[in-house]
């Protein structure tokens, strides 16, 4: 399917402030960016680089006063996310090197503290994809998806003690449990066309059967219409904006996603 997606961020900046932005999707196996707009108001110079996870990042210094960042793009994505029940577990010694960072404990995914719990959750389940599904079933059954409720980022251990959480934090718990079973897992931030209420969204991917598969504890099915913006070990790696120095005020954030006809350029 073809989507038009956009994100607008309006800030009040007290003093000149360095920013790191992560708002540009990249083309890949699951998506193709056909057209893109990126506007900074007022216009300032920016430098783009690619981080260790392949994300497109922009560095800039925002001037004092009103400052806005607006992105929009036309993108082709899959109608539905791939599922593969029975996809096999890959022994650590046979994993591709670029998946290895996603096996280790990280700031918000303390996988070393979930070994016993994860093993108990998947007892009797075939190693690999089916174990990931079992973990997602546990999260859905025990934690209510509460969009807009979590301003503070919390870790997998904290999420597991609560009865409701936002998408990012539910993904942290899924990632920690997968890694505890020696399954590489990573956080994804992006857009979901069917999301209600509309906002940026987070889910996770696990590496089984020789590729990455999507898992989303907040949704009852593997909806298509997903646009990935950033990948990382956890939320510390995938913030869509990071400012340094004195706090700045985010006045407004507006996210929009809609299906469109195949563009004619």
- Name the H helices within 181-237: none
What is the pLDDT, as a whole number, of residue 221? 86
CA–CA distance, 78 with 17 (Å, rounded to integer): 38
Residue 228 lies in a domain: no
Residue 181 lies in a domain: yes
Residue 51 lies in a domain: yes
Residue 236 lies in a domain: no
Residue with tokens 């807009």: 148
Are residue 208 and residue 99 in the same domain, yes or no? yes
Residue 109 lies in a domain: yes
Are residue 106 and residue 195 in the same domain, yes or no? yes
Are residue 11 and residue 59 in the same domain, yes or no? yes
164-165 and 144-145 as β-strands: parallel, antiparallel, unpaired? parallel
- What pTM did the predictor assign? 0.96
Are residue 147 and residue 216 in the same domain, yes or no? yes
What is the pLDDT, as a whole number, of residue 148? 81
Query: Which structural domain range is residue 255 located in?
Result: 2-78+241-259
CATH label of the domain that carries residue 14: 2.60.40.2250
Find out whether 83 and 222 touch, Cβ atoms under 8 Å. Answer: yes
Are residue 38 and residue 117 in the same domain, yes or no? no
Are residue 214 and residue 109 in the same domain, yes or no? yes
Per-residue pLDDT tens, the chain, 265 aa: give them: 999 999 999 999 999 999 999 999 999 888 999 999 999 999 999 999 999 999 999 999 999 999 999 999 999 999 989 999 999 999 999 999 999 999 999 999 999 999 999 999 999 999 999 999 999 999 999 999 999 876 789 999 999 999 999 999 999 999 999 999 999 999 999 999 999 999 999 999 999 999 999 999 999 888 889 999 999 999 999 999 999 999 999 999 999 999 999 987 6
What is the pLDDT, as a whole number, of residue 73? 97
Are residue 126 and residue 160 in the same domain, yes or no? yes
What is the pLDDT, as a whole number, of residue 150? 65
56-62 and 46-50 as β-strands: parallel, antiparallel, unpaired? antiparallel
Are residue 7 and residue 63 in the same domain, yes or no? yes
Are residue 72 and residue 125 in the same domain, yes or no? no
CATH label of the domain that carries residue 101: 3.10.620.30
Query: How many structural domains does the chain have?
Result: 2
């Amino acid at each position: 399917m073809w989507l038009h997606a956009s994100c607008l961020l309006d800030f009040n900046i007290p003093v000149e402030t360095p920013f790191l932005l992560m708002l540009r999707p990249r083309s890949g196996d699951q998506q193709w960016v056909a057209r893109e707009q990126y506007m900074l108001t007022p216009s300032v110079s920016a430098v783009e680089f690619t981080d260790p996870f392949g994300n497109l990042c922009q560095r800039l210094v925002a001037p004092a006063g009103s400052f806005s960042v607006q992105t929009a793009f036309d993108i082709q994505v899959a109608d539905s996310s791939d599922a593969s029940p029975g996809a096999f577990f890959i022994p650590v010694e046979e994993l591709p090197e670029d998946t290895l960072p996603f096996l280790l404990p990280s700031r918000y995914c303390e996988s070393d503290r979930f070994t016993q719990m994860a093993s108990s959750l998947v007892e009797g389940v075939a190693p690999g994809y089916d174990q990931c599904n079992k973990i997602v079933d546990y999260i859905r059954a025990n934690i209510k998806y509460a969009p807009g409720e979590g301003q503070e980022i919390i870790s997998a251990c904290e999420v597991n003690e609560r009865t409701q959480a936002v998408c990012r934090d539910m993904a942290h718990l899924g990632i920690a449990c997968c890694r505890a079973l020696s399954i590489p897992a990573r956080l994804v931030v992006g857009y979901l066309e069917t999301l209600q209420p509309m906002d940026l969204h987070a889910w996770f991917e696990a590496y089984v059967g020789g590729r990455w598969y999507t898992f989303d504890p907040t949704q009852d099915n593997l909806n298509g219409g997903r646009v990935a913006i950033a990948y990382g070990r956890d939320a510390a790696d995938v913030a869509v904006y990071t400012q340094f120095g004195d706090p700045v005020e985010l006045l407004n954030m507006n996210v929009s996603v809609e299906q469109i006809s195949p563009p004619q350029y």
